[in-house]
Amino acid sequence: MASLPAPPLGSSSSPFASPLTAVLCIFLSLLLLLPRPVLSQCKNVPVIFNFGDSNSDTGGLVAGLGFPVNPPNGRSFFGSSTGRLSDGRLVIDFLCQSVNASFLSPYMESLGSTFRNGANFAVVGSSTLPKFKPFALNVQVMQFLRFKARSLQLAAAGFGNMISDEEFRNALYMIDIGQNDLADSFSKNLSYVQVIKRIPSVTMEIKNAVKAMYDQGGRKFWVHNTGPLGCLPQKLSIVRRSPNDLDPVGCLSSYNAAARVFNEALRRLCVEMSSEMKDATIVHVDIYSIKYDLIANSTKYGFSSPLMACCGYGGPPYNYNIKVPCGQTGSQACIKGSEFVSWDGIHYTEAANTIIASKIRSMAYSTPHTPFDFFCRG
């Protein structure tokens, strides 16, 4: 994979390289800006089950369909592609590390995991609608039901090292989905009003998923809302819009407005479910505010060109071409992903994910304010 050329030493005009002293200053400033996460106090073995889309897919697309995710994906941490759409770790990876849990293995990965610490059902491109489409949210839930039934069956037959029924009850159930429902609706040329009208159907599927896991004994839920869809370089490069549809940061106002409507509906849903399921803890996390702040105040965090992809094709302002995605012949990767918010025009860099995860763990964006490790403290 070719890298974009670096500017002459000492030049600060290019977002793809910067002097060492500037990088050090930014790094030190960033440390001061990051919220202090709460240290894990887990007493029990952390068991996590995750449901979602590419924002939390740790290799499900590759395991399930054999679809290749080519380098330079994975270059910053793993040294090779692991199926994650990022240069390194995702937010969910950092959250697992914060409770001293292993990275979650994709449910459909047949080799290399005992699934002792849970499983990841998230797959790239997943949505809640239409139902029964691989790998829609309700399909992921059915996969979980199969996983649980089979685990308990094998445990009863004498197989060791299986997740117990008690551990299933005490596990954390994470949901991070909805972005593709909104994006797919806009891609079908639906009007803003038509997109908004579909949101109740999306949140109903999320409620059904939580209820299904609750009926199986799950009592601890962690629900992420969706990020600022209109700030993705992919959307900015392919969506026809008028200048009036760009906000002061340069994001698509209509797309972000739809995301906020969805997020408010999801927040209300979490409150409603908490009232109905009184013995459950349902935490709603405002990912939108975290990510929008990262983009709107990018320089504060040490990032340049927050609306430009590190890996892609086409150069400024977005470096995204739908025909030449990251990892395909012709695409180029920036020298330092640590200076970019967006990795490939849709997903975030490990550097951005580091900050997002830290802010999640600060509890400042959670309702109710709950430490991430609450599920394994008892």
Q: What's the token pair of residue 263?
A: 């997020």
Which is the catalytic residue, given 54, 237, 305, 362?
54
| Coil/strand/helix, residue 147 | helix
**E strand intervals along the chain:** 48-52, 118-120, 172-176, 220-224, 281-285, 311-312, 332-333, 366-367
Q: Is 224 one of the catalytic residues? A: no
CB 182 within 8 A of CB 259: yes
Strand partners, 175: 51, 223
Q: What's the token pair of residue 145?
A: 């039901």
Q: Which residue has the tokens 């209509």?
A: 254
Geometric angle at alpha carbon 353, from 352 and 358, rounded to 5°: 105
Q: How far apart (Å, rounded) are the C-alpha atoms in residues 71 and 59? A: 14
For the chain, report the end-to-end CA distance as a whole number of angstroms: 48
Distances from the Cα of 230 to the Cα of 143, 258, 295, angstroms:
32, 9, 11
Write out the H or E segment, with its range, that includes residue 181: helix 179-187
Q: How far apart (Å, rounded) are the C-alpha atoms in residues 204 and 15? A: 42
Q: How far apart (Å, rounded) are the C-alpha atoms in residues 262 and 195? A: 10
Q: Is 245 one of the catalytic residues? A: no
Which is the catalytic residue, given 14, 237, 347, 362?
347
Which is the catalytic residue, given 56, 344, 366, 373?
344
Q: Is 165 one of the catalytic residues? A: no
Annotated active-site positions, please? 54, 344, 347
